Structure formats: structure tokens, C-alpha cells
Amino acid sequence: MRTIITRKSAASLAATAVLAVSLAACSQDTGTEAQAGNQQQSSQQEQAAPKAVASIPALTGEDTAVALDKGFTDALTQLELTPGVVGSAKLTDGSLVFPITGGNVTVFEPGAVDPYVIGQVQHEGSGFSLTAGDTTVEITNLNVDPGVSKVYGDVAVNGEVAASSVPVFNLDGRTLNPLETQGNQAILEGTKVQISEVAAPLLNDVFKTDAVKPGLLVGTATITVDVK
């Protein structure tokens, strides 16, 4: 779910490092006045840096629940696919629930930075399955990366590995609600979970159909983490 660095933030950090080295070189050549100006500019940049609403460097508990969309469950019925769970996952009241096993997350005010939720949320040892006849696809070890709006996972067909750590879902965070806190828990609810461009053709190939489309809405995610 390691230090939290997305592709965008990595580029930003690199640019900042280059700027700092350049300023140091200039100060050596132009004297005290330039050095003082550089220090003032650096101080202003630090003051302008957005502050995180919440930062959890090591996730240790709770879960990610995906409330399944009716359109998705109807599609499974039409395709005669039976959903199931793998490992420690649960299917409860229309939601797939995956226990969080690790990762980290930092949340900023919406609009302060883009993306304003970064990190990763890991769910090792759990997943879900789709079965038709004697064919079963299992998607496990889900890793949510909100910084790139992807969920990565391992895919197996009848027990044989078909793909490892591939983007199985896309995330649409435009519907994400502001961070909520309840006691010792932080809750992020509202992100849409959609079938990815990788998963759709894989499922179509395995189940001999063309009905699974990229962007198919699976459901809405709620991530609940401990903040003790």
C-alpha cells in the first residue's frame, strides 16, 4: 500500500535536489548576499509546502471493502460466472472485504497536491475468484496504489500463474469523500473500482467471451485503517 514516492513526487523531488545543488554553487561564486537570498527563498518554499492531513508510515490492520455494483453482479450472472473468495477475504452483504496486511498512506487536502492520496495498501494472502464450469480464475495479493490510480494483483488460472503484479483494476478517485476519522480508525470511502485494460482481455480469453470491457465498474471501495 517504503518511503511514499509516486512518479510525480519522484520527479518533483529530483527537481528540488537539482535546484538545491545549483543554488549552492551560485552562493560560492557570488558571495554572502546571494547566499542570504537563496536561504530566504528556500525558507519561503518550505513554508509553502502543503501539510498532510494524515500520514501512516506503516499500516497494520483493518481492511479494504468493495461494495459490488449491481451492473457488475448482473454481468457475472449473464456470463454464468460465480464469484468467490480466496484466503482471508470475505464476501459479506454484497461487498468483497480484503484484510490490510501492510503498506503506508499519506493524505492531503483535496486540491493541495495531485494526487492528494499517495502510498500503497497491501492485501497479501487474500483475493477473489471467478468460476465457470471447470475453469477458475483467482486474483490475489492486491496492492492498492492511489498515487497512480491502480490496483495490482497476481492472476492464476486453475492454480497456474497467468500473471504477477499486473494492474487488474483502475481507480477513479474523483468520487472519493474527504477523510473521516472514527475513534482509532481513518476511513477513505468513495473511490470507484473498474476493470483494467489488462484484466479485461485476460478474462475474455479465459472464459471465451468478449463481454468484459475495460472500465467496467466493479464497485465502490472503502479503505479503513488503524491509526493507533
Residue 136 in any domain: the answer is: yes
Q: What is the pLDDT of residues 63-92, one digit of tens each?
A: 999 999 999 999 999 999 999 999 999 999
- pLDDT for the residue numbered 179: 86
d(CA 81, CA 98) in angstroms, rounded, equals 20
- pLDDT for the residue numbered 14: 34
Helix or strand or coil: residue 61? coil
- pLDDT for the residue numbered 25: 32
40 and 67 fall within a common domain = no
pLDDT > 50? residue 12: no
pTM, full prediction = 0.76
22 and 131 fall within a common domain = no
74 and 176 fall within a common domain = yes
- pLDDT for the residue numbered 28: 42
35 and 58 fall within a common domain = no
32 and 74 fall within a common domain = no
**Strand ranges for 117-157 from DSSP E:** 117-132, 135-145, 150-157
- pLDDT for the residue numbered 223: 95
Question: How many distinct structural domains can be found in the chain?
Answer: 2
* Structure-model confidence comparison of residues 41 and 99, the more confident one: 99
* Structure-model confidence comparison of residues 191 and 29, the more confident one: 191
Q: What torsion, rounded to 10 degrees, do the Cα atoms 214, 86, 125, 5 define?
A: 20
Residue 217 in any domain: the answer is: yes
108 and 219 fall within a common domain = yes
- pLDDT for the residue numbered 57: 92
Residue with cell 546571494: 34
Residue 2 in any domain: the answer is: no
63 and 126 fall within a common domain = yes
Q: Which domain holds residue 103?
A: 53-226
Residue with cell 499500516: 59
pLDDT > 60? residue 34: no
* Structure-model confidence comparison of residues 159 and 174, the more confident one: 159
Phi, psi of 205 (to 5 degrees): -65, -45
Residue 1 in any domain: the answer is: no
- pLDDT for the residue numbered 41: 56
In this prediction, residue 48 has a pLDDT band, given cuts at 50, 70 and 90, of: low
| Cα atoms in the Cβ-side hemisphere of radius 13 Å centred on 130 | 18
Bridge partners of 66, per DSSP, are: 96, 221
91 and 187 fall within a common domain = yes
122 and 42 fall within a common domain = no
Q: Which of 56-60, 151-155, 165-169 shows the lowest per-residue confidence on average (mean pLDDT)?
A: 56-60
Mean pLDDT on 160-185 = 93
Q: What is the pLDDT of residues 110-156, one digit of tens each?
A: 888 888 889 999 999 999 999 999 999 999 999 999 989 999 999 99
71 and 45 fall within a common domain = no
Residue 62 in any domain: the answer is: yes
42 and 59 fall within a common domain = no
Helix or strand or coil: residue 184? coil
22 and 133 fall within a common domain = no
Mean pLDDT on 197-218 = 96
Secondary structure, 3-state, 96-117: EEEECCEEEEEEECECCECCCE
Question: Is residue 106 a contact partner of residue 119, using CB atoms and an 8 Å limit?
Answer: yes
d(CA 39, CA 50) in angstroms, rounded, equals 19
d(CA 22, CA 16) in angstroms, rounded, equals 10
pLDDT > 80? residue 37: no
Grid coordinates representing 21?
545543488
- pLDDT for the residue numbered 162: 96
